Each structure stands twice: as structure tokens, then as C-alpha cells.
């Protein structure tokens, strides 16, 4: 028979889940159901490359970058492109906040899952994002 | 189905043109920027020549009446889907009820809206292209109007991966643009045509060495150019002969005309050269006031450029196919 969850287990799971960027996690064992909700207290969200390719901070047909450090970013905003031969895939922010910095130079070749940008996430209260 | 909400005149349904009826005097019509139309289609998994909408007058707005995958290619018209700015040369999914708004581009002249499954209008003499000049083909033989509803073809269920996919613009991918001169000059590759050698040396010199300005009298039928007049020493007696998009004719005024997609199928002015097929898309993006220069190439060189363009399109098609397949998993 499995040991019930200890406080240390829960603490460990919470640390791991937060580091993975989860907003909440639910665990179930016979006789126990645990739901951990992490208040978004503001932190750093790492945007990673979805695929290997060449990172571009702007589209070649437009002079301006998709986002500059300090810009407010929406969850679904495109913050860059990954070029693979003739095709571009979008780099999507994934979390709302403020672009803290880009971690790679535009034009550089990167592997899949490379951290590309840091977004300072904001507390998401009931009344929208903190301003 | 898509509904046209707002459009100035002269925006129309076009595919890659009407071939096989020129001997009856039927011109080709078709997209002025064939590379942009093809790229949009290939991003979506359509055949390159599926019909799309050529937008040359702005602002232009459509509302999607069903869920569709769509692409915007050609001149960057800063397309917004329900207020979200899309990158240029981009394909994505649109939901029923969403609006797409295109603004006048800062550079280039024509944008293309393509839809998974293609725009389904009746096929006339083998093509869905609109001949605006005579009034047949496309949607009821005319330019699009607010309130028009266009039906998409049978494959309109196809979807793009989350966030969409884009194509590297041909301006960046092909060597053509690298040949362009300083400022806004577009350098076009031209094969000398039948009456080239009949022009005296000063006229030939002017044709090849000077910059030509696209005049305001320029449209889908052809571009009238302004520059040093080209004159023959004596008038040539020539019969009307077949002409193709790209032919550079010299009328008695000495100001050349480049015949384009909606041109007549025959003409009688002396022909000094022909802009190669693979460079016609760049003319499709030239606006009145643009400066053109001509460089002489052989037919063999023209064929090489054609192969380069075809390689670009097949790379876009193949990678887009892989992306869509991956997204379905």
C-alpha cells in the first residue's frame, strides 16, 4: 500500500510545478484529493523555441521588431520567428506580462527548446492585469 | 464562405490565368503577382493556382462566415484579424464571425488573400480569373463589391498549425531583389524581342541604360513608361502578332508600354523586349512613380531564374505540408 502524501512531498510537488510554470495542479489518491493553485505573484516566464532554426526578432518585410524590452505582451502575441529554410514558425509569448529581455541575437541558429526571451509576468487579479 | 464588407473598385478574384484560348483572342488575365498568389496557396496546401483575391485598392475588409484557414501574401498591408496584427506572408486560421482588415501597403502594390480550398467561382475557359477590362470570369465578371459572398472550395476544412506559419518573402529568398539598383529602382531581366535590332543605337542605348518611370496610366492591362523617347529611323511595316504579358512595345510616341495580365492577345507596335515570366511578379508590385531598369538576359538565363522561383515555391509547399501534418498529430 502506498504511503499517504507527506507535507514534504507536497512542498516538493509545489516547487516542481511552479518551476514548470504551471498555474495549478490536481493530485488524486484513494481517499485524498489535493488541488494546488499558485497565485501569479509575478515572476519570470521563459519563452522557449518550439523548434530548431534561425531566430528572427523581426519580419524581414517590416522594420520594427515584434517586441522590444519593456513592451507589454499578451499571452498569444508573436514575439519572434523561427526560420527553417523558407518557412517561419511563430514564437508565441505564452504568458502575459512585460518583455524583460531577449536571450538570443536575431539571426542566430538555435536548438529546439532554447530559451529565447524572458517575460516578467504580472499578478492576474480578478480585475485584469496589474498596471 | 467569406463576405466582402468593404472594398474600393478594382479588387478581383484571380488565379494563375487563362491559357489555351489565346488563339481565339482571349488574353490570360491572372494574378499580377503570381508568386504571392502561389505562395499563399501553397502555405494552405492548395494547388498553387487555386483562385484567391487580388487586392490592389485599400482599405479592404472581409468577414469570415465559416471557420477557414487563410493566408495573406504580397505587399504588406498590415492585415489585422479581429484587431490582431498578422505578420506579412502569413497563414492562420480564422473563425466564423472574425473580420480581416487590410490597409494600404507602405511598399508594393498588391496583396493576395487565399483561402484553404480556394475561392470557388465558375470556371470560364479553364480559369477562375476575372478579366476586368472585358467583364467575364471571376465573381460575376466584375470587381468585388461590398456584400459579395464568396464560397470556398471543397478542401476548406484544412487547418493551419496553432499560431500559423509564414513564408520567407521572395524579396528575401530570391536573388532577383539583390540585383535591384539604388533606392527604389527595380531591375528587370529582359530578353530582346523581334524588332529590337530595328531600333537605332541611341534608342537601344536609352532602353538598356536609362531608368524608366512607371506612369499613372498603368493598370492590370499594362504599364506605360516615361523616359527618353525611343524612335525608329523610319516606321516599320509590321503585322499584328501575338503578344504575351511582359512584352515591351514601343508605340509612335516613343514611350514604351509593358503589356501585362489583362493585355490584348495581339498587337502591332514594334516589340523591343520581353520581361521574363519569372520577373513579372515584381512588376505586379511596382506602383506608379516606381523606377525600372532593364538588363538583357538570354532565354537560357530566363529559364534558370524560372527554376529558382519554382524551387522556392516547392520548398514552401513541402515544409508547409510537413508543418500541417505535424500539427494534426
- C-alpha span between B194 and B274 (Å, rounded): 10
In this structure, the answer to whether residues A86 and A25 fall within a common structural domain is no
pLDDT of residue A29: 79
Q: What is the ipTM of this complex?
A: 0.91
What is the mean predicted confidence (pLDDT) over B57-72? 96
Mutate which: A49, A50, A52, A61, vs B, most B CBs within 10 A: A61
B306 in a structural domain: no
- HEC string of chain B equals CEEEEECCCCCEEECCCCCCCHHHCCCCCCCCCHHHHHHHHHHHCCCCCCCEEEECCCCEEEEECCCEEEEEEECCCCCEECCEECCCCEEEEECCCCEEEECCCCCCCCEEEEECCCEECCCECCECCCECCCCECCCCCCCCCCCCEEEECCCCCCCCCCCCEEECCHHHHCHHHHHCCCCCEEEEEEEECCCHHHCCHHHHHHHHHCCEEEEEEECCCEEEEECCCCCCCCCCCCCCEECCCCEEECCCCCCCEEECCCCCCEECCCEEEEECHHHHHHHHCCCCCCEEEEEECCHHHHHHHHHHHHHHHHHHHHHHHHHHHHHHC
What is the mean predicted confidence (pLDDT) over B172-187? 74
User: A89 to chain B: nearest residue by CA?
Assistant: B165
In this structure, the answer to whether residues B106 and B66 fall within a common structural domain is yes
- C-alpha span between B118 and B48 (Å, rounded): 10
In this structure, the answer to whether residues B138 and B215 fall within a common structural domain is no
pLDDT of residue B154: 78
- C-alpha span between B255 and B91 (Å, rounded): 41
Contact B91, B43 (CB under 8 A): yes
In this structure, the answer to whether residues A29 and A70 fall within a common structural domain is no
Domain of B274, CATH number, reads 2.40.100.10
Of B167, B186, B218, which residue constitutes the final position of a domain?
A: B167
Q: What are phi and psi of B153, to 5 degrees?
A: -70, 180
pLDDT reading at B181 higher than 70: no
pLDDT reading at B87 higher than 60: yes
CB proximity B172 to A under 8 Å: yes
Q: What is the pLDDT of residues B116-128, one digit of tens each?
A: 999 999 999 999 9
Contact B9, B57 (CB under 8 A): yes
pLDDT of residue A130: 37
In this structure, the answer to whether residues A32 and A60 fall within a common structural domain is no
Dig out the grid coordinates for B215 from the structure.
Answer: 506612369
In this structure, the answer to whether residues B135 and B224 fall within a common structural domain is no
pLDDT of residue A131: 34
Percent of chain B surpassing pLDDT 70: 96
In this structure, the answer to whether residues B28 and B151 fall within a common structural domain is yes
Peptide bond into B42 cis (omega under 30): no
pTM equals 0.88
Q: Give residue A28's domain range.
A: 7-37
- C-alpha span between B310 and B98 (Å, rounded): 34
CB proximity A63 to B under 8 Å: no
Domain of A111, CATH number, reads 2.40.50.100
B314 in a structural domain: no
pLDDT of residue B191: 98
In this structure, the answer to whether residues B163 and B180 fall within a common structural domain is no
Contact B97, B66 (CB under 8 A): no
- Contacting residues of A for B167, CB less than 8 Å apart: 86-88
CB proximity A92 to B under 8 Å: yes
Of B115, B138, B167, which residue constitutes the final position of a domain?
A: B167
Long-range contact set of residues B120-123: C-beta below 8 Å, sequence gap at least 24 = B120/B51, B120/B150, B120/B151, B120/B152, B120/B153, B121/B13, B121/B51, B121/B150
**Averaged pLDDT of chain B:** 94
Contact B32, B218 (CB under 8 A): no
Mutate which: B79, B163, B321, vs A, most A CBs within 10 A: B163
In this structure, the answer to whether residues A118 and A79 fall within a common structural domain is yes
Of B145, B167, B189, which residue constitutes the final position of a domain?
A: B167
Q: How many structural domains comprise chain B?
A: 2
Q: How far is B22 from chain A (nearest CA, A)?
A: 35
Q: How far is A12 from chain B (nearest CA, A)?
A: 33
Contact B102, B79 (CB under 8 A): yes
pLDDT of residue A42: 66
pLDDT of residue B26: 93
Sign of CA dihedral B150, B153, B156, B161: negative
In this structure, the answer to whether residues A69 and A18 fall within a common structural domain is no
pLDDT of residue A127: 40
Q: pLDDT band at residue B179, thresholds of 50, 70 and 90?
A: low
What is the mean predicted confidence (pLDDT) over B302-324? 95
Q: Give residue B14's domain range.
A: 2-167
Percent of chain B surpassing pLDDT 90: 86
Q: What are phi and psi of B65, to 5 degrees?
A: -95, -5
Looking at mean pLDDT, say which of B15-19, B170-174, B241-245 comes out highest.
Answer: B15-19
User: What is the mean pLDDT of each successive set of 10 residues along chain A, which is 131 residues long?
Assistant: 74 78 78 76 85 96 94 94 96 94 95 94 50 34
What is the mean predicted confidence (pLDDT) over B189-195? 96
pLDDT of residue A23: 73
Q: At what angle do helices B299-328 and B34-44 cross, to 10 degrees?
A: 20
Amino acid at each position: 500500500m502506498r504511503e499517504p502524501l507527506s507535507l514534504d512531498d507536497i512542498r516538493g510537488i509545489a516547487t516542481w510545478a511552479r518551476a514548470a510554470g504551471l498555474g495549478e495542479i490536481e493530485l488524486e489518491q484513494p481517499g485524498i484529493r489535493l488541488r494546488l493553485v499558485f497565485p501569479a505573484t509575478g515572476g519570470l516566464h521563459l519563452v522557449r523555441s518550439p523548434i530548431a532554426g534561425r531566430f528572427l526578432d523581426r519580419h524581414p518585410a517590416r522594420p520594427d521588431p515584434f517586441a522590444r524590452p519593456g513592451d507589454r505582451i499578451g499571452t498569444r502575441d508573436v514575439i519572434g520567428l523561427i526560420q527553417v529554410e523558407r518557412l517561419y514558425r511563430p514564437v508565441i509569448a505564452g504568458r502575459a506580462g512585460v518583455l524583460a529581455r531577449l536571450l538570443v541575437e536575431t539571426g542566430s541558429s538555435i536548438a529546439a527548446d532554447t530559451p529565447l526571451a524572458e517575460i516578467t509576468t504580472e499578478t492576474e487579479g480578478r480585475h485584469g492585469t496589474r498596471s | 464562405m467569406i463576405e466582402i464588407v468593404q472594398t474600393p473598385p478594382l479588387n478581383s478574384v484571380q488565379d494563375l490565368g487563362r491559357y489555351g484560348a489565346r488563339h481565339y483572342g482571349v488574353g490570360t488575365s491572372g494574378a499580377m503577382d503570381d508568386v504571392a498568389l502561389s505562395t499563399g496557396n501553397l502555405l494552405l496546401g492548395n494547388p498553387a493556382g487555386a483562385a484567391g483575391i487580388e487586392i490592389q485598392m485599400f482599405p479592404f475588409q472581409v468577414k469570415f462566415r465559416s471557420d477557414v484557414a487563410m493566408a495573406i501574401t504580397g505587399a504588406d498591408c498590415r492585415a489585422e484579424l479581429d484587431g490582431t496584427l498578422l505578420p506579412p506572408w502569413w497563414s492562420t486560421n480564422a473563425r466564423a464571425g472574425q473580420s480581416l482588415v487590410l490597409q494600404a501597403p507602405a511598399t508594393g502594390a498588391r496583396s493576395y488573400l487565399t483561402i484553404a480550398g480556394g475561392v470557388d467561382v465558375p470556371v470560364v475557359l479553364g480559369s477562375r480569373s476575372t478579366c476586368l477590362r472585358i467583364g467575364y470570369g471571376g465573381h460575376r465578371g466584375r470587381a468585388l463589391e461590398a456584400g459579395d459572398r464568396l464560397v470556398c472550395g471543397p478542401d476548406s476544412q484544412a487547418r493551419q498549425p496553432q499560431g500559423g506559419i509564414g513564408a520567407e518573402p521572395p524579396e528575401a529568398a530570391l536573388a532577383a531583389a539583390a540585383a535591384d539598383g539604388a533606392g527604389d529602382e527595380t531591375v528587370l531581366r529582359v530578353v530582346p524581342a523581334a524588332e529590337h535590332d530595328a531600333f537605332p543605337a541611341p534608342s537601344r542605348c536609352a532602353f538598356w541604360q536609362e531608368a524608366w518611370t512607371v506612369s499613372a496610366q498603368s493598370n492590370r492591362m499594362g504599364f506605360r513608361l516615361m523616359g527618353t523617347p525611343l524612335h525608329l529611323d523610319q516606321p516599320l511595316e509590321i503585322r499584328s502578332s501575338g503578344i504575351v504579358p511582359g512584352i515591351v512595345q514601343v508605340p509612335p510616341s516613343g514611350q514604351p508600354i509593358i503589356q501585362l495580365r489583362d493585355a490584348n492577345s495581339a498587337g502591332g507596335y514594334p516589340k523591343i523586349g520581353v520581361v521574363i515570366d519569372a520577373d513579372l511578379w515584381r512588376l505586379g508590385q511596382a506602383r506608379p512613380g516606381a523606377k525600372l531598369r532593364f538588363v538583357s538576359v538570354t532565354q537560357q538565363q530566363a529559364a534558370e531564374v524560372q527554376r529558382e522561383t519554382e524551387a522556392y515555391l516547392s520548398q514552401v509547399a513541402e515544409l508547409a505540408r510537413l508543418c500541417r501534418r505535424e500539427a494534426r498529430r
